[in-house]
Amino acid sequence: MGTPHLLLLAGIGGHAPDQALASLATVTDTVSVVYVTAWRPSGQVRAGWEQRGLGGEFLDAPDLDTAVEAALALHGRLPLDGVVTYSELLLRPQAEIADRLGLPGNPPEAVAVAQSKARQRLVFAEHGVPSPEFEVITSERDLAAAAARVGLPGVFKPSLGAGSQSVRLVSTYAELIHAFGSARAEKTPFLQSDEAYLLEQRMALETDGDSGYASYCSVESLLADGTAHHLAVSDRLPLEHGYAEEGVVLPGRPDGATRAAVVDLADRAIRAIGLTCGAVHTEIALTPDGPRVIEVNARAGGPLPTMFEVAAGWDYAAETGRSALGLPPTRLPEFTRVALLRFLPIPAGNWRVADQTPVAELLRAFPELVYVSPRFGPGQRVSRKGTLHLASFMVDAPDRAAARAVTRRVERALAIRLVPGLDAPSGADRD
């Protein structure tokens, strides 16, 4: 049918656009971009796209609705064969574009359910998919009934959100009231909104006995050409700072009966929601009563494309692009290494970064490092508003034990030193 024309929606979050373009260029040489500029300008990404010499067009759109209209107009000039995104915030326009043009993609209703934790819980209850007990909260009038029904302590979370923002353990009714008020006042980068919140049954996710891991994992999947390919189970490091994620290990420990059980549950959850296309990331709690779904995301977990490349030499981003064209994967991943992504959570409170080791120095000292990404620099203010993490880094190792050992050494060498204080400029306004 000639060279397929693939559209990339970008602008915030997910797999970095320059890396996504490098992967998609292995699928087709005609890749257009619609870049949503609501969060940041497109100049750097546009320059990278132009340097690659790809066919198609690069278009700016100020918001999500305009992005849809820009894609439809582009289709009139140069017909599209598929549309792909790696960003949670751009899943809704991706689904709408695919639906209106009759392209491969998830139904908009399925994406709407996947983006709403409240709607997920209702769908899981309807289909008998094990997940925590819950109550949906839309106003202060719902708080007392939710606390009575679910019990305290419980987990409070926004229905629409990412990165564990505003997710907290509430042990008393007063804490529940405070959590609800704080969450409603919190500014969010989402341009779509959901007025619902959840109070959920507390599951002991922090540690899995003395294993050195948390008691939850995730199933990484690719839906393509009518088939669900469950690619891997990834593990989590113990939670030591509330619900701020501490780290991801790929491939993870679960094997045998445990792996079969979590993969089966992920498959049931995906089918209940109605997802049919693209990457899916399903988080699952490992409880004494069996696995329970925490949430399903209709995209790859943020670091997973890079982790698949490191641990299996497998291009998850390219295969997601193939799925958007209605094509099956070229092959499935075979793991020969271990990738570990470490997140360094911000302690509760307000801080200033007094010192940390420069990235270039760390990369020279540790050949196992894939990258190091500080969120702040010396002199900047630090708090949990906007992000829960000081920094992240990824290591490449022959096995899980080696990955854990080098991670500890890198963390010590990074040497982020915090001091109390609010007198320094924030990351947003520091020169």
- Give tens-digit pLDDT for 364-385: 999 999 999 999 999 999 988 8
Q: Which candidate, 137, 132, 75, 84, places its Cα nearest to that of 106? A: 84
Q: Decide which of 196 and 262 is more confident.
A: 262
pLDDT for 422 beyond 70: no
Cis upstream peptide for 378 (omega within 30°): no
**Mean pLDDT, rounded, for 51-79:** 97
6-17: average pLDDT: 95
Exposed/middle/buried for 241, CB within 10 Å: 0-12, 13-18, 19+?
middle
pLDDT tier at 301 (50, 70, 90 boundaries)? confident
Count the Cβ atoms, other than its own, within 10 Å of residue 184. Answer: 13
The Cα-based distances of 185 to 19, 173, 188, 198 in angstroms read 35, 19, 9, 16
Q: Which run of H or E residues covers position 347?
A: none
User: How much is the mean pLDDT over the chain?
Assistant: 93
Relative to beta strand 351-355, strand 381-382 is antiparallel
Q: What domains appear along the chain, each with residue ranges and CATH number?
A: 5-103 (3.40.50.20), 107-125+204-336 (3.30.470.20), 133-201 (3.30.1490.20), 337-431 (3.90.1170)
Confidence of residue 188 (pLDDT cuts 50, 70, 90): low
- The CA distance from 272 to 123, in Å, is 7
Contacts of 71 (CB under 8 A, 6+ apart): 7, 9, 34, 80, 83, 93, 97, 101
CA distance 423 to 351: 9
For the chain, report the end-to-end CA distance as a whole number of angstroms. 51
Judge whether residue 19 has pLDDT over 90. Answer: yes
